[in-house]
Amino acid sequence: MTRIPPLSDQEMTADARASRAALGAYGPFDNWARVAAYCPPVLNHVTGMLTTLREQENLPRRALELAMVTVSKLNACDYCVSHHTPLLTVAGLSPEGAARLPDVEDHPELDDCDKAVVRYAEAVTIRSGRMRDAEVADLGEWFTDAQIVELTWRIALCGAFNRFNDALQIQIEPEVEPVSA
């Protein structure tokens, strides 16, 4: 059970209701939005940032979802793994391939770029302050500097979501199939 009761529409500010609706167009995150609505600036800014990033399509969807599932599995966040695994399968990875992450050794569904993304997501998540320069520079083979900045931000943000969701025990929405981290 969620540790903070989700707000009803009537309990939310008008701005929070608008952000919740906009986030609903982004994906099935109603339970998250109803808890985040206690702090409207969080809900408003996160919604705005996520929708803007999606609209600009700077980062390939497969790379983004590989990173999100990897981070969420490393942090054991069932909420985020459940939401992002289906998106990763749409991006071309089988459910079995997604379940195997973050293990990339001899992974038959991952190419060198995919493996670099997973390794980078793991490095940012587990040892961001101890990464080697080459771990960032190596991504330059597949990504622009702007894409690397966005990828790094999205990995770090996913880690924040993992902690928020787990600390407050945000429940997976009924329309989302639970997937264990």
CB 171 within 8 A of CB 31: yes
Question: In Å, what is the CA distance from 137 to each residue of 5, 57, 61, 122, 142?
Answer: 44, 22, 21, 16, 10
Q: What is the pLDDT of residue 150?
A: 97
- Interior angle at CA 157, CA 166 and CA 15, nearest 5: 85
Tens digit of each residue's pLDDT, the chain (181 residues): 899 999 999 999 999 999 999 999 889 999 999 999 999 999 999 999 999 999 998 999 999 999 999 999 999 999 999 999 998 888 889 999 999 999 999 999 999 999 999 999 999 999 988 888 888 998 999 999 999 999 999 999 999 999 999 999 999 999 999 998 8
What confidence score (pLDDT) does residue 139 get? 95
pTM of the complete model: 0.93
User: What's residue 68's pLDDT?
Assistant: 96
The predicted pLDDT at position 25 comes to 87
Query: Do the Cβ atoms of 117 and 63 come closer than 8 Å?
Result: yes
